[in-house]
Amino acid sequence: MSRPIGVDLFAGSGGMSLGFEKAGFDVVAAVELDPVHAAARKFNFPDCSGMWKA
């Protein structure tokens, strides 16, 4: 059985994604338009695809 999939909207630096991962989800994408938070998000989750503005 595969793990459930999560998508993090308004992702910030990735707190929700970290919670998703700890709960057993695979986070496949995230969206963050604020450049400061998008840069932090890229650093914290380099393997997650998504929409970034930074």
In a domain, 25, yes or no: yes
Rounded to the nearest 5°, which phi and psi values hold at 8? -100, 110
In a domain, 50, yes or no: no
Across the range 35-48, mean pLDDT stands at 85
With a cut of 70, say whether residue 48 has pLDDT above it: yes
Both ends of the chain: CA-CA distance in Å?
Answer: 36
In a domain, 24, yes or no: yes
In a domain, 22, yes or no: yes
DSSP 8-state secondary structure symbol assigned to residue 22: H
In a domain, 13, yes or no: yes
In terms of Cβ atoms closer than 10 Å to its own Cβ (0-12, 13-18, 19+), residue 27 is buried
Q: Model-level pTM?
A: 0.74
In a domain, 31, yes or no: yes
In a domain, 9, yes or no: yes
Across the range 17-43, mean pLDDT stands at 89
| Tally of structural domains, the chain | 1
User: Percent of the chain scored above 70 by pLDDT?
Assistant: 89
User: Reduced to 3 DSSP states, what percent helix, strand and coil does the chain have, rounded to the nearest 5?
Assistant: 35, 30, 40
Residue 10 belongs to what domain range? 5-44
* Total residue length of the chain: 54
